[in-house]
Structure 1
Amino acid sequence: MPSVNFTRIFRMSLHTLHIVQGLSHQRERLFGKSDTIGYEGKNIDSFLDILIRNQIQEIIDVRHNPFSMNFTFTKAKLAGYLDSVGIRYVHMPELGIPGEYRQSLNDAGDYEKLFEFYRKTILGEFSLEKLAARWRKGRVALLCMEKEHVRCHRGVISKALGQMGFEVTHLY
């Protein structure tokens, strides 16, 4: 009966795994990996934990007005917390939806109208290549308040990036 060299099999398996991971990383470098996150219902510790576990290097805040009823997530405080764990903070208010457009959102139809308006106006005037270039440099996540990306304009942005070939993950 032939002997089985488990060490050799294990090394071959590791080699195969490294090849597959390498191909995955090459795809990410070429097309990028787009992440999004909302902070609704999160405290700063759990929020930072999600970012660290997912190796996020930069947060792009797409809120038009970077203030929050949860003071931890106002621009200055959030930037400080992110900096303390080595994550860059960038605010892109030009990608936000002004508050007056977000009033009276009661049902899915209201959100559909708002997001259609957003696609045609605000997002239509913005060069997505500006975002794409950031994703090609490292692991970046779009930030807004809403927990559910389908109720947030970052879902519209990430869908547009997905159409450009980016892999999109909604972290929270």
Structure 2
Amino acid sequence: MEYKCYTIGYSGIKIERFIEILKERNINCVIDVRSTPYSKYVPEYNKEELKKSLKKNNIVYSNFNKEFGARRTEDEVYSEDEIVDFEKTLKLDIFNDGVKRLKIGYEKGYNIVLMCSEKNPLDCHRFSMVSKGLNNKRFKIIHILEDNKEISNENLEEEMVAKFFPNYMQINLFEKSRSYSELLKDAYRKTNEIVGYSRKKENIED
């Protein structure tokens, strides 16, 4: 069985339009993957307010910050540079418990979307960490973009590879060619370095 799972970032979307977008796809369950389910700038997306708005529209809200959040409390998933390593995070028991809970949700009839704040999934761990982990476990991921268009996880991966390796489709006669899978792995690593939560940055900001 394959599970179809959406993702969305709410930045720049009014709550009324957000709910319309969900209803257009018959989505009846929002999984919040923010580490801290609150917004300084758009309070309607704070956990309590969002839950109320969704409930009025018969949409269930659930928070998976411990399972799928970007800011991790487990010391073992941090790199030497104090950045969360997504590959290590995907191996955590709690992450895989979250995957199991998602599957149970689908078996109960829920149509699920993973929600975070960043409008572009390439800038968010919901793509480079969570979707990557789910994609390996029989999930078909569809990302809802800012203009309400959709892009498959595979096509978004191609965009990510092109971002870091713009000439990857061209034959280079002077360098040993690299396979797409090698480039994809490297692109995920580079994205992790950019998107991953950093303890060093937190200390600087503090």
* Structure holding more helix per residue: 1
Taking a change above 3 Å as real, the CA distance of residues 130 and 114 of structure 1, as seen in their structure-2 partners, is farther
Q: How does 1:4-83 map to 2 (within 5 A)?
A: 30-69=1-40, 70-83=42-55
| Distance in 2 of aligned mates of 1:60 and 1:91 | 6
Secondary structure of residue in 1 paired with 2:118: coil
Q: 1:132 aligns with which of 86, 103, 112?
A: 103
Query: What residue is the counterpart of 1:91 in the other structure?
Result: 63
| Distance in 2 of aligned mates of 1:148 and 1:114 | 21
- Report how far residue 159 of structure 1 moved: 2.3
Q: How does 1:97-108 map to 2 (within 5 A)?
A: 97-98=70-71
Query: What residue is the counterpart of 1:150 in the other structure?
Result: 122
Q: Provide runs of 4+ in structure 1 moved above 4 Å.
A: none
| Distance in 2 of aligned mates of 1:119 and 1:132 | 21
Q: 1:167 aligns with which of 140, 150, 154?
A: 140
| Distance in 2 of aligned mates of 1:165 and 1:154 | 16
| Distance in 2 of aligned mates of 1:93 and 1:130 | 13
| Distance in 1 of aligned mates of 2:24 and 2:83 | 33
Taking a change above 3 Å as real, the CA distance of residues 31 and 114 of structure 1, as seen in their structure-2 partners, is farther
Q: Which moved more, 1:150-159 or 1:47-56?
A: 150-159
Aligned residue identity for 1:140:
I
Rg: which structure is higher? 1
Could you tell me which runs of 5 or more consecutive residues in structure 1 were left unpaired when the two chains were aligned: 1-29, 101-112
Q: CA RMSD in A?
A: 2.1
- Report how far residue 62 of structure 1 moved: 0.7
Could you tell me which runs of 5 or more consecutive residues in structure 2 were left unpaired when the two chains were aligned: 74-81, 146-206
- Report how far residue 165 of structure 1 moved: 2.1
Aligned residue identity for 1:170:
H
| Distance in 2 of aligned mates of 1:135 and 1:142 | 13
Taking a change above 3 Å as real, the CA distance of residues 132 and 150 of structure 1, as seen in their structure-2 partners, is farther
- Report how far residue 47 of structure 1 moved: 0.6
Taking a change above 3 Å as real, the CA distance of residues 48 and 32 of structure 1, as seen in their structure-2 partners, is same
Q: Which moved more, 1:160-169 or 1:81-90?
A: 160-169
Q: Does structure 2 conserve the Cα–Cα contact (< 8 Å) formed by 1:34 and 1:158?
A: no
Aligned residue identity for 1:162:
N
- Report how far residue 99 of structure 1 moved: 8.7
Aligned residue identity for 2:33:
V
- Report how far residue 40 of structure 1 moved: 0.7
Using CA pairs below 8 Å that are at least 6 residues apart, which structure has the higher relative contact order?
1
